Amino acid sequence: MIEPTVSRNFEPDIPDIVIRRLPIYVRTLRALQESGIANVSSDQLAELIGVTAAQIRRDLSYFGKFGKQGKGYDTFHLEQAISQILKLDHKWDVALAGFGSLGHAIAHYRGFEPSSFRIAAIFDRNPEQLGRQIDGVTIMSDRCIAGEVARLGIQIGIIAVPAANAQDVAAALVEGGIHALINYAPVVLKTPPNVLVREIDPIGALQSMTYYLEGEHE
Amino acid sequence: MIEPTVSRNFEPDIPDIVIRRLPIYVRTLRALQESGIANVSSDQLAELIGVTAAQIRRDLSYFGKFGKQGKGYDTFHLEQAISQILKLDHKWDVALAGFGSLGHAIAHYRGFEPSSFRIAAIFDRNPEQLGRQIDGVTIMSDRCIAGEVARLGIQIGIIAVPAANAQDVAAALVEGGIHALINYAPVVLKTPPNVLVREIDPIGALQSMTYYLEGEHE
DNA sequence: TAGATTGTTAATCGATTAACAATC
DNA sequence: TAGATTGTTAATCGATTAACAATC
């Protein structure tokens, strides 16, 4: 919901929903390589991911031809190709706003090494956190957000602050030149149309699942 | 992606995408009430949420008539009605698998009090964590998952373990009788069709955003 | 060559939007 | 009553799927 108004890319017109599926293809192709599997058909890949083979072929066709008829796809080459399309072949600096337990979890996440992302700045409102070093990054005050983001030329921000501060923090990040935001706060952010926002909303996910569950528990 | 095959609910046929929007309506209506606003039109609500008024009215029409022509919606009554549809009017026990920094952040999250969810069981693989008490809940071994979930009659699970263990943990939770899963692990889980799975995938979100960003950073 | 599987088009399906009669 | 806004239907838009000719 609340899908991005994208204005930075001028590819013909590739649906955002296709772009959002590409990371799953990359992930699965990497897992296959690690299992020593050099080749997959769209049927096999579909089975692993839980989608249809037609969807995979259709998705890929937006970007070119990556397979061989009768053979399928080379896991290494297809992964490289999609990684390049997503620009995952170089590192991106990320600004993390909020260093509570969620921010801590984000900063310490090592589920994806080597990763294309690096926490290059951390901000927190709590004075006790200020000056603390995390992997060589010094936690700074929220008041430094715009200046520091601009100074470092950071394009991606993660909002992990309480709902009440999320809008102000978002505004500061945008002021600093951020173009893409991951928002963990349960708040609809007001941002300019050239800023891409993706919501991470586990509470919303929980709240929508109970609809399907059996009634009177507890 | 990988949408749920739902088999527990037999409502005519309300699209899951509509169900997934309802928590945002609830959240926004609660915020309005806290601001002392007793009434909203679909236009105002749409503006706040960033969707169209037509979509809101259409979504609500799946469940009944909640507004008054010429007047709009009573924020209290509409929130109550949607909360009831989502079954948020009573508490749900949740099993948390994984008590690393992510599990810790989930267990300590207080962004939504009073919440309809209560962490009623915590499991971790790390022997050092075992026996530790978190809000009156004792961390237990992964080996206890199925038994404990069954004993407590828990229907909802959260997977916050490393990718490598996620499938096993999911299987144990399902064995214990879990019907709904929130999955933070970057892995496509294999679950029976009557189990609802929602993916929380911040890394995927990041990886799909770089597609839209300007090239050669770093 | 024969068999398998891609890439692509057209058909289908589903979700969003626009419009407006009903009605508070 | 007049004005505003709902609830709902039909039109539009977009995404998924099925099918198959191309080709490795």
* A27, burial (CB in 10 Å: exposed 0-12, middle 13-18, buried 19+): buried
What is the pTM for the complete model shown?
Answer: 0.93
Average pLDDT over residues B110-128: 91
Task: Give yes or no for residue B3 having a pLDDT over 50.
Answer: no
* A120, burial (CB in 10 Å: exposed 0-12, middle 13-18, buried 19+): buried
For nucleotide C17, give the residue with the nearest CA to its C1'.
Answer: B54
DSSP 3-state percent helix, strand, coil across chain A (nearest 5): 45, 20, 40
Average pLDDT over residues A165-171: 98
Tokens representing B187 are 């892995």
A residues 82-121 lying closer than 8 A (beta carbon) to B = 85-88, 90-94, 100-102, 104-106, 108-109, 111-112, 115-117
Task: Give the confidence band of A121 by pLDDT, cuts at 50, 70, 90.
Answer: very high
Calculate the CA B70 to chain-centre distance.
34
Q: Which residues of A spanning 1-40 put their CB closer than 7 angstroms to strand C? A: 40
Question: What is the per-residue pLDDT across A187-204, written as a single tens digit (0 to 9) for each?
Answer: 999 999 999 999 999 999
Distance CA A92, CA B90 (A): 43
Assess contact for B200 and A205: CB atoms under 8 A: yes
Task: Give yes or no for residue B117 having a pLDDT over 70.
Answer: yes
Q: Which residues of B spanning 63-122 put their CB closer than 7 angstroms to strand C? A: 68-71
The reply to whether residue A20 touches residue B204, judged by beta carbons under 8 angstroms, is yes
pLDDT of residue A206: 98
β-bridge pairing A72-74 and A39-40:
antiparallel
Alpha-helical (H) ranges within A35-178 are 42-49, 53-61, 75-85, 101-108, 145-152, 163-175
Average pLDDT over residues A136-156: 98
pLDDT of residue A13: 87
Question: What is the per-residue pLDDT across A48-76, written as a single tens digit (0 to 9) for each?
Answer: 999 999 999 999 999 999 999 999 999 99
Task: Give the confidence band of A10 by pLDDT, cuts at 50, 70, 90.
Answer: very low
From chain B, the residues in CB contact with A201 under 8 A are: 23
Cα angle B107, B182, A94 (rounded to 5 degrees) comes to: 75
pLDDT of residue B12: 55
Q: Which fold has domain B5-85?
A: Arc Repressor Mutant, subunit A (1.10.10)
> Quick check: B77 CB within 7 A of strand D?
no
Are the folds of B5-85 and B92-201 the same? Answer: no
Question: What is the per-residue pLDDT across B35-89, written as a single tens digit (0 to 9) for each?
Answer: 999 999 999 999 999 999 999 999 999 999 999 999 999 999 999 999 999 999 9
B164 touches chain A (CB under 8 A): no
B residues 44-73 lying closer than 8 A (beta carbon) to A = 48-51
Question: What is the per-residue pLDDT across B148-167, written as a single tens digit (0 to 9) for each?
Answer: 999 999 999 999 999 999 99
Distance CA A126, CA A124 (A): 6
pLDDT of residue B113: 73
pLDDT of residue A163: 96
What is the percent of chain A where pLDDT is above 90? 89
Task: Give yes or no for residue A4 having a pLDDT over 50.
Answer: no
Task: Give yes or no for residue B2 having a pLDDT over 50.
Answer: no
pLDDT of residue A190: 97
pLDDT of residue A216: 55
What is the percent of chain B where pLDDT is above 90? 89
B177 touches chain A (CB under 8 A): no
Average pLDDT over residues A121-143: 97
Using CA of residue A188, residue A192, residue A193, residue A197, what is the dihedral sign? Answer: negative
Tokens representing B214 are 């300007």
Average pLDDT, chain B: 93
Task: Give yes or no for residue B6 having a pLDDT over 50.
Answer: no
pLDDT of residue B127: 96
pLDDT of residue A214: 86
Helix (H) / strand (E) element for A121: namely: strand A117-124
- Which residue of A lies nearest to B52 if distances are taken between CA atoms? A2
pLDDT of residue A114: 78
The reply to whether residue A212 touches residue B6, judged by beta carbons under 8 angstroms, is yes
Collapsed DSSP state (helix, strand, coil) of residue B40:
strand
Domain definitions of chain A by residue range: 5-85, 92-201
Task: Give yes or no for residue B211 having a pLDDT over 70.
Answer: yes
Q: Which fold has domain B92-201?
A: Rossmann fold (3.40.50)
